[in-house]
Structure 1
Amino acid sequence: MASLDKRYDALVIGSGAAGSIAVKELTERGLEVLLLEAGRDISEADFVPQPATAPKAMSISLGGRLRSGLKGQYVQARRAMFKDQTSPFLVNDFKHPYASDSEFLWIRGRQLGGRLHAYGRVLLRSSDHEFKAASRDGHGEDWPISYADIAPYYDQVEEFLGLYGTDEGIDNLPDGKYRGPSVMTKAEKEFKSTVESRWPDRHVTPWRYAAPNLHRVPLGIVAARETGRLTTRTDAIVEKITVNSKTGLADGAIFIDQNTKARHRVYADVVVSCASAIESVRLLFNSASDAHPDGLANSSGLLGHYFMDQTPSLLFGDDPNHPGAESPEDPAPADPYYPPIGGVYIPHFENVDRTTTKDFARGWSVQGTIGRMPVPAGSGGVVGLMGFGEMLPYYNNRITVHSRRTDAWGIPIPRIHLSLTDNERAMMRAQVRGLREMAEASGYRVNFAASALGLDSKKIWPDADPISRAIFRIGIKRSLAMGAAIHECGGARMGNDPAKSILNEHNQAWDVPNLFVTDASAYVSNGGVGPTLTIMALTARACEYIAQQHADGSLHKETARNS
């Protein structure tokens, strides 16, 4: 096993939302950082614009899904919002298997930047509606932080990335720091008027989204490279985080070269896992040792537990009142590879500051677009609305590692145990019903409405042929299985009590004080907003703490608890 000679101040594992911010914050504070990314590097060749083609009618995308599946993406091809353009940035499922006790759709990317190349750039703030939800309704635990603790880091990340949005003054969707406004199409403005007049508690806002990244390499990595203190190693699959048996502290990692399968040993004063919710938990389990027989940093026995995703629902239709497509003037710079983005967002409106329904706890939100997708002349504008419901944290929903199965590099694969309760089933029925009500009130023709529970009607895709409709009926439930929201989180939760959590308020492992986990595995509960911005803000906050503690030697010289 080869060893890299240099010992780094910090090792960051993963280069997506968390990892890219981690390397920026740490290097800009003077630390020498090694970044390990399991996937390949990227280049300009990955972002060559495709020749323009005539707009096609909205379809089921069976052809694109089949092509993706034949290339080894038999899981990734099932994603609800399928696009040929993002398939190259998702994994080959034959090489990256996983197991699940029930249907779970795990969409993931492995290359420099991770899923940042395939997400919609929507960045939303969480609020104390999420962080202190348990105090309000008694379900689960509160986070060990409040909105006031993380707000300055939201500011910092938004200003760095360049966010577009509008101030709305909604308590459970805090306003941000905007470079410019985001705009709605004419059809979206009419949707807003219809919905808010009929349902005054539903606030229809324009998307809040990041400016296009024309560097392609995540901006945090670009900034870190400018310091001269970042070393990047792609094709580096971390097998385990290593711990010094004398100090009880993490001292680096062992990684496998993705191409040669050779093992390498690296050393660092601090280890920061940013690999994504499922992958970080998998890594901690695979880093078990004599001192940590049940997984690294798992003296509480809670590693992997309280895993969550948001409950998905989806409606597609068309707007006969607004044929064709509208392209409102986007204040963000144009991107030659990715199309312009934008749309509507409705934050949680049920059980926000009082109980408005007893059918389920918490609530759900909506993200969609109306009239933006290119269609043939005369066709109705495309309507796409997706609901995201807040799943409660349950102890028995968890991630483990398989006792027998491994991936293409011999590393035990993750096993996902996630079951729905009556609460989630009731919420998804309300989501589908609510999406259909808003669509029909707006005069749209509904092509289908569905959730992880299946379709709400047998009448689907009126313009499609019978064979395509039959295939769609079979496949839609699997495309909207849990995981389809791509907002999975939990498994290494933060907390105030070492007996009830894996990490403290700074994303620091209770058992191994120089080990930090800053991706979505740290989540205590899940809200209705996507986790990306919160992951970035938590990472910025944790890295500020790391730099302060590393400067006086307290992280890499003290003895770990239970060592």
Structure 2
Amino acid sequence: MENIHYDALVIGSGAAGSFAAKELTEKGLKVVLVEAGRNISTEDFNPNFKGPKEKGIQLWARAKAAVTGQHIQSKVAMYGRQQRHLFVNDRENPYTTPADKPFLWIRGKQLGGRLHTYGRMLLRWSDYDFKAASRDGKGQDWPLSYNELAPYYDKVEKFLGIYGTKESLANVPDGQFMGNSKLTSAEALFKAKTQERWSDRKPIPWRYMPPNIKRIPQPIIAAQETGLLTIRTNAVVRKIRVDVSTGKATGVEYIDRETREVGTLQASIVVLCGSTIESVRLLLNSATQQHPNGLGNSSGTLGKYFMDQVPSMIFGTIPGKKGFEGDDTHPVDPFYGVTGGVYIPRFENLDKVSNNQFVRGYAFQGTIGRLYARDDKDAKFGIMGFGEMLPYADNTITLNPKKKDSYGIPVPHISCYMHDNEKRLLKAQTEAIKDMLVNAGFELEFCGSYLGVEEFGRGAFPDADWFSRLLFRLNFRKSMCMGAAIHETGGARMGDDPKTSVLNRYNQSWDVPNLFVTDGSSFPSGGVSGATLTIMAVTVRACEYIARGHAEGKFK
């Protein structure tokens, strides 16, 4: 047992954990940041990698990854071969699903987690997300509103330096932008043609974080600069420890990934930021005599109401345009390549029921004209759709008592499937994007989802070899099942009633007062845009509350 007693212990170093470390150290707390994966170095981001930097189909690279230990990670929708080592080895990180309910768990274990592989697109949510249940009666509202979270969105955006444009859209609120993002000429054409036909559809440029050349997440660097941060990488937390007499968390028990030795760390406050599935798994595995069904699970909702967004994909070409367009907003990242694109915010069922075939709606993000193409080939587009999944009690994360990982920890069993509402929504989602692209004069190659794939004209990836195209057709549905959106949330939701939620409005456990959970598992609903910016803002808000309570001696 290490004799140091920290003020706060943060589990996980991604979107939530990095900001928790920053906020707490900057408020004077002595913090230990615990990461299951390894540290990173400049070698992880070698700019001299041979091959295309742009993420895309890369079928042969996917096949090679699949047979060498990444049969799940290689199914990620937009694949970049140079990033392969930033995803986990699936053989070493198993999980289970029902045979008829596949789920793709895409993840990375290193300092910074999935911050090294996400698209850096950061969008605010609105009360169309936070208060959705009040309009349609499905699930629960968030215990906080957009106005309560807006100051924390401001703080995160200013710190990261987000690019975007002011659009005055109620369901995608404007942010604090350091500069304008841009559309390519093809994206601008698409925007004009779409708005000309559908006044309620408002394509906008991406809102995104520019490349981070330092590679270590900026919040972690800021935390290090305080002199109050200790980082423990290669530490696989298997249990949160609780004092039976006080009911408070005392720290964690972990396994050193390299030596396999068991160790403990002590702290007055534990902030769980392990990512949605890992955090729920850890809470379940931290069951005690006082918490027999999982730590903090007096409501019985821990592991329930798990969600991911419902994904679709469409690719094609832009007649009359050759090659691809660059973007001079900022220098191209030497490792990741280009960024930016077009976003089509949700337009269904906002202020009124515009489509009574399903509840809530969908949005799209992608690129038009930016995907790599030779100068003698037609320019390309690639767009993904993201539909909102309702929170269902039977979409769950549980522990599989019959299967353990290499550290002896029970693996998560993920059961998540589309109900009838999501299937109807997904059909409308794919039809809507097809209509918009055809309306703009573009040519479709294929459009599909877990429900199936349609091919048009010369078919999917017409310039690829026949074997790659065969692999694509055989594996497409599997690569678009639940999890493919990589926007998973829920399982330890926050609320105003301890009988129906795991956490209160400050992400604090109802049952363990010095335990906080601030990652996506805390979300009561799943939205249609990425959760990353909201995770960051929720974490900053929770840490403000933690620091105030610590100063008042509430967590001793």
TM-score for the superposition, normalised by structure 1: 0.96
Stretch deviating more after TM superposition (456-465 or 295-304): 456-465
What is the identity, as a one-letter code, of the residue corresponding to 2:494? M
Q: 1:245-290: per-residue Cα shift (whole Å, max 9, x none)? A: 1100000000101111110011000000000000000000000011
For residue 441 of structure 2, what is the aligned residue in structure 1?
A: 443
For residue 78 of structure 1, what is the aligned residue in structure 2?
A: 75
For residue 408 of structure 1, what is the aligned residue in structure 2?
A: 406
TM-superposed CA distance for 1:376, in Å, is 1.2
TM-superposed CA distance for 1:71, in Å, is 2.8
1:233 partnered with 2:255: no
Q: 1:459-499: per-residue Cα shift (whole Å, max 9, x none)? A: 53444444333321110001111100000000000000000
For residue 561 of structure 1, what is the aligned residue in structure 2?
A: none
Stretch deviating more after TM superposition (471-480 or 35-44): 471-480
- SS across alignment from 1:365: strand
What is the identity, as a one-letter code, of the residue corresponding to 1:529? S
For residue 9 of structure 2, what is the aligned residue in structure 1?
A: 11
Instruction: Tell whether the 8 Å contact from 2:57 to 2:79 is kept in structure 1 after alignment.
Output: no
Give structure 1 stretches of 5+ with no counterpart.
Answer: 557-563
CA distance in 1, matches of 2:524, 2:209: 25
Within-5 A mapping of 1:109-258: 109-258=108-257
TM-superposed CA distance for 1:7, in Å, is 0.4
CA distance in 1, matches of 2:51, 2:489: 38
Within-5 A mapping of 1:73-112: 73-101=70-98, 102-112=101-111
CA distance in 1, matches of 2:95, 2:300: 22
- SS across alignment from 2:548: helix
Stretch deviating more after TM superposition (131-140 or 66-75): 66-75
CA distance in 2, matches of 1:224, 1:303: 31
- SS across alignment from 1:456: strand
CA distance in 1, matches of 2:5, 2:53: 54
CA distance in 1, matches of 2:461, 2:89: 30
CA distance in 1, matches of 2:88, 2:555: 35
- SS across alignment from 2:2: strand
For residue 45 of structure 1, what is the aligned residue in structure 2?
A: 43
- SS across alignment from 1:178: coil
For residue 456 of structure 1, what is the aligned residue in structure 2?
A: 454
CA distance in 1, matches of 2:94, 2:186: 42
CA distance in 1, matches of 2:172, 2:104: 28
CA distance in 2, matches of 1:431, 1:82: 23
Q: 1:335-381: per-residue Cα shift (whole Å, max 9, x none)? A: 22221200000111000110000111000001010111221121111
For residue 398 of structure 1, what is the aligned residue in structure 2?
A: 396
CA distance in 2, matches of 1:142, 1:512: 23
TM-superposed CA distance for 1:83, in Å, is 1.2
Q: 1:137-160: per-residue Cα shift (whole Å, max 9, x none)? A: 111110000001100000000000
Stretch deviating more after TM superposition (11-20 or 374-383): 374-383
- SS across alignment from 1:248: coil
Instruction: Tell whether the 8 Å contact from 2:56 to 2:79 is kept in structure 1 after alignment.
Output: no
TM-superposed CA distance for 1:445, in Å, is 2.2
Instruction: Tell whether the 8 Å contact from 1:15 to 1:37 is kept in structure 2 after alignment.
Output: yes
For residue 271 of structure 1, what is the aligned residue in structure 2?
A: 270
Instruction: Tell whether the 8 Å contact from 1:243 to 1:249 is kept in structure 2 after alignment.
Output: yes
Stretch deviating more after TM superposition (376-385 or 451-460): 451-460
Stretch deviating more after TM superposition (12-21 or 414-423): 414-423
Instruction: Tell whether the 8 Å contact from 1:55 to 1:376 is kept in structure 2 after alignment.
Output: no
CA distance in 2, matches of 1:495, 1:401: 24
**Structure 1 489/53 Cα, relative in aligned 2: closer, same or farther at 3 Å?**
closer
Moved >6 Å (runs of 4+): none
**Structure 1 51/79 Cα, relative in aligned 2: closer, same or farther at 3 Å?**
closer
What is the identity, as a one-letter code, of the residue corresponding to 2:118? Y
Q: 1:401-434: per-residue Cα shift (whole Å, max 9, x none)? A: 1011011111110000112111100111111111
**Structure 1 55/9 Cα, relative in aligned 2: closer, same or farther at 3 Å?**
closer
CA distance in 1, matches of 2:212, 2:465: 40
TM-superposed CA distance for 1:537, in Å, is 0.2
- SS across alignment from 1:18: helix
Instruction: Tell whether the 8 Å contact from 2:303 to 2:398 is kept in structure 1 after alignment.
Output: yes
- SS across alignment from 2:16: helix
- SS across alignment from 1:322: strand
- SS across alignment from 2:555: helix
Give structure 2 stretches of 5+ with no counterpart.
Answer: none
CA distance in 2, matches of 1:456, 1:305: 34
TM-score for the superposition, normalised by structure 2: 0.97
